[in-house]
Amino acid sequence: MAKIDIKIEDGSVLGNPATDNYFVFFDSDNSDLLTTRDSAGTDTTYTGGGGGGNYFKDEVLITSGSISASASDQVVPNLDYTILSGKAGNYIVYAVLSVDIAGTDMKPFSIMLYKNTVKETNSVTMDFAKKNENQSIQLTFAMDGLLVGDVIEVFINNDDVDVDTIITGRLLLQKFE
């Protein structure tokens, strides 16, 4: 059995592992890059992963809001993300929205992504609204070639179903190469 404890460590004070063992850590003394260190003190740095390399993750959370009944796509208030400086690239985007439904049962209820006010083709997930019931709807979508300043927004189309309350919403973006 082995213990795995991955965290950010200062490589300059970490020391060396016992013979035939390795340390695996994100080196805070080296731009948080993923690093392995052998018992001789030799470091190998991986730029394809780790905080300072090509890996990046960020999220937006909301804990309240409301959306009126509408047959057209409408933005979920405050559930958006702008690509930061130095973070352009390819992303996996995960969005989830938990809502409290009022009004009519069994109407289509969709969640989708927009980039710079344009709907991303095939980014739509659909379910059926259930009256007086908390409901979550989610989607995962790959978005290639995002540029600094691109704005990713979560929209819904609730087909005239009254969404009384947004309980929670989450937008998680993970950069990949």
User: 148-172: per-residue pLDDT in tens?
Assistant: 999 999 988 877 666 666 778 899 9
- The answer on 99 and 158 residing in a single domain is yes
- The answer on 62 and 44 residing in a single domain is no
Domain contains 28: yes
Average confidence (pLDDT) over 79-97: 91
- The answer on 61 and 25 residing in a single domain is no
What pLDDT does 114 receive? Answer: 95
- The answer on 166 and 102 residing in a single domain is yes
pLDDT (tens digit per residue) in 109-119: 788 999 999 99
- The answer on 65 and 32 residing in a single domain is no
* Domain with 32 in it: 8-50
Asked if 29 and 134 count as a contact pair (C-beta separation under 8 A), the reply is no
Please, which residues bridge with residue 136 across strands? 98
With H, G, I as helix, E, B as strand and everything else as coil, classify residue 93: strand
- The answer on 83 and 166 residing in a single domain is yes
Residue whose C-alpha is closest to residue 23's, from 32, 34, 31: 34
- CATH number for the domain including 171? 2.60.120.760
Domain contains 143: yes
Q: 67-96: b or e for each residue (b if 16 or more CB lie within 10 Å)? A: bebeeeeeebebbbbebeeeeebebebebb
Domain contains 157: yes
89-101 sheet: strands from edge to edge: 56-62, 163-176, 89-101, 134-146
**Total number of domains in the chain:** 2
